[in-house]
Structures are given as C-alpha cells and as structure tokens.
Amino acid sequence: MPTPVPAIGSDELAERRARFMAGLGDGVALIPGARPRTRSNDTEYVFRQDSDLLYLTGFPQPEAVAVFTQDRFVLFVQPRDPEMETWNGRRPGVEGAVSEFGADEAFPVEELGERLPGLIENRRRLWHAFGRDRALDDRVVDALEKTRARLRRGVAAPTEVVSPFDALHRMRSYKSPAELEIMRAAATISREAHRAAARLCQPGRWEYELEAALHQVFRARGGAGPAYASIVGAGDNATVLHYVTNEARLEAGQLVLIDAGVELHGYASDVTRTYPVGGHYEGAARDVYQAVLEAQRAAFDAVRPRTTLKAIHEAALRKLVEGLVELKALEGDIDGLLESEAYRPFYMHSTGHLLGMDVHDVGQYAVDGQPRELEPGMCFTIEPGLYFGSSEEKSPDHLRGIGVRIEDDVVVTDDGHENLTAAIPKEIDAVEAWIRD
C-alpha cells in the first residue's frame, strides 16, 4: 500500500535553504550529516540521516556535509563507487547531489579538508557546532589554522564561531502545511497500528506480539518503522517509563501501556494509550485511568496561542494531584501537595515535549529565562500519566502494579489547537469497544 502523502518536495527544501542562507550574512555554515553506527561487530544499524541536514537538503546518504553561504549551497558526498554500491546500494554521488538535490556545487567528501580553507576564507563568521562530530571538528580547526597562516597574503579567517542551531531550530519549530500533512498521515498510520495491537490485548498474549503488530503496520503503510523504541508494558512494566524489553506475558486484569508511533518521511508520531487486557477496565485500574484522562482533558483546555508548555503541565498536574487524593494515594490540601511535590513518586515527568522530525524535537523551551510562548504551527505532545510501581514504597497496596499514560500529538492553530491523533480512542467505552470489535 503506498504512503498516503509525499515527502517534502524540492521546492519547499529550496525555500528552507533560502531562508536559512539569508540569515548567514557574510558568514559560512557547516551542517554535517550522520555517520553509520555499528550495531555489532561488522554490522550497522539501519541508517537514519541527521534531522538538520535532512531538513535543509533532503539528502538521505551517510557522511555528507553541507556548506552554506548567503548565495551558495555546496554538498560534500560519497562519490559513485560501483563496487561499494553493489554491496550497499546506489549513491547519488557528486552528480546526483547537484541534479537531484539542488546543490550549486558538489564534491567528494574526501575533499572537504582540502577545500574547506577556501570556503571559509574572508568570512567573518563561521557557523559550526563543535562537539557533535569530532572528525569534522578536527577538519574545521585545521582549516582555521591554514587560513590564519595566510594573513600576510591578505586572507582573513573567521573571527567568530557560533552554532547554527538557534536559527535552524527556530525554523524547524514551525511546521509548514506540507509538514503537517505528513504528521497527520503518520497519525493515521499510528492509529491503524494501535488498533492492530489493541485487538491482541488478551490474556496469554505476549508483549512482543503486540510490538510485532505495531511494526508490521508501520512498514506495511509505508513508514520507515517506529519513530523510537516501542514501549509495550503490561502490569508493573507499565510503571517503567522507558520499558522496551517487551517480553512479558499479558495476564487478566492488567493494563498494557503502549507508547509507539511511526516515522514517516522523517517525521515522528508519538502516541501512548493504555489498554485493558481482556477488554474491560475494572476496579482500581479503571479509576487510575479515569484520573489520567481527566488530567489530559484539563491540559487540552489550556492549549491556545501564547500559552506555554509549563502552563499546560500545571493544568494537568493539578488535576492529577486531585486524582491522587481521590485514589487515596495522597492526603492533604491540593496546593500544599503541589508545592511539596508529594506527587513525585507517582508522576515524575513533564506533560509534553516538542515534536517534529525528532520525537523529542529541537527548539527552545524557555526564552530569556521565561517559558516560551506557543505559536501557530508549533507541535508538541500532551502525555500525563500515573505510575504505581511495585518497588515504590509509597505506592498504596490497592494501586501497585498499575501504570497509565495517555499521549496525543497536538499543533497550535490560529484560534486554538488541532489534535492530530484524536482518532485513536481513549474514552473508556470507546477503547473497550475498539478491543472487542
């Protein structure tokens, strides 16, 4: 089945580069791509391009470096190599970097060190983030030294070295209509995947069976696979925030927390639902689930332009603390419990994070020491939860082994918000019906 929407097109990529390059002034910027990573011995993880390079160029191959000035886009790439391409697949090469990816010039990546001094000379500012790629850092330092050595010949080296991330990540914070279409399509695929997994939430099944159902849909619908390691935690495993072992048996009366979303055309979906094993929320598990659901509703009520993730978190947190009192996990005045952070054993994370090409996407959370105001086009998650781990001594006996999180993907609009994952059921009756049907 084909993917439901196309990847970002060449026109939008060119427009992104033009905006980024316009802000460089008389500077030069280096944006490196990702390198292959060893999985074991001589095998590698499936390659995934660095999001910054992908955002500006769409170039999918490893070991690439993009160099930008105000009026020039240069790509350094792996050259064509018939022998290596027999083993690892076709490379666009230098020619393809120009014809397929819009570079003004392209060169073999092995020539970067040789050509870099000429690219940075007489540029006042060098936009480069030291510390991400040690090999590239060494080339940059060498290029600076070679350029400074030519001072008596009238050649000037950059006098400032600054990170390009502030400007680039500010751009990535605002999603275009095409980006939002991809993220909506990713949400649709994630819905189908959650439905396939939810139908398996029966006693005797195994967490890895649910994981396999999720991943089968991700790939069958054209996604790259999971956007992050899928979490399928039943019973007490649901109280471990980043549980990814996914090897336990589902038992009657448990809840199973599934935190899983597809990556589509470089964009992440991030969805959590907590399903009842056997198809019915019962007893304390139902009460905990309802408390988290009400907290998420309170968070959604707070979403509008110019609000902050902090305000959204505080809205959810107050409702969670009220729920903890009703569940008899806490006692006392709500304001006092909030101030003392008495909820921490049962709720230890924030209520959301930025979302986009990275599941925990780039962008500032604070500006000048104050929470950043959300603006139209910004995407983030809303994911309150409650966790009563069996090893947490403060967990009440009647709640031990229960973990619930509910997470949706949201974009701020001009007059409110859009829940990209609203079609994935979370109301109790709707979830129970979903599992049964």
Domains of the chain: 10-171 (3.40.350.10), 174-436 (3.90.230.10)
Q: Within 10 A of 414 (CB to CB), how many other CB atoms are there? A: 9
pLDDT grade for 2, boundaries at 50, 70 and 90: low
* Per-residue confidence (pLDDT) for residue 383, from 0 to 100: 98
Gyration radius of the chain's alpha carbons: 25
- % residues pLDDT > 90 (the chain): 97
Annotate 73-95 with b (16+ C-beta within 10 A) or e (fewer): bbbbbbbeeeeeeeeeeebbbbe
Over residues 63-113, the pLDDT tens digits come to 999 999 999 999 999 999 999 999 999 999 999 999 999 999 999 999 999
* Per-residue confidence (pLDDT) for residue 436, from 0 to 100: 86
pLDDT grade for 246, boundaries at 50, 70 and 90: very high
Residue with structure tokens 């109301």? Answer: 427
Over residues 375-427, the pLDDT tens digits come to 999 999 999 999 999 999 999 999 999 999 999 999 999 999 999 999 999 99
pLDDT grade for 154, boundaries at 50, 70 and 90: confident
Whether the Cβ atoms of residue 198 and residue 434 lie closer than 8 Å to each other: yes
Bridge partners of residue 107, in order along the sequence: 76
* Per-residue confidence (pLDDT) for residue 3, from 0 to 100: 63
> If you average pLDDT over every residue of the chain, what do you get?
96
* 311 phi/psi in degrees, rounded to 5: -65, -40
Which of 1-15, 51-65, 183-197 is predicted least confidently? 1-15
Whether the Cβ atoms of residue 384 and residue 193 lie closer than 8 Å to each other: no
CA distance 293 to 302: 15
CA distance 420 to 56: 25
* Per-residue confidence (pLDDT) for residue 352, from 0 to 100: 97
Mean pLDDT, to the nearest integer, of 120-146? 95
Residue 360 in tokens:
């925990």
Residue with structure tokens 């129970």? Answer: 432
Catalytic residues: 42, 242, 259, 270, 349, 353, 360, 383, 387, 405, 407
CA distance 191 to 209: 17
pLDDT grade for 125, boundaries at 50, 70 and 90: very high
Q: How remote is the C-alpha of 318 from its chain's centroid?
A: 27
CA distance 73 to 59: 13
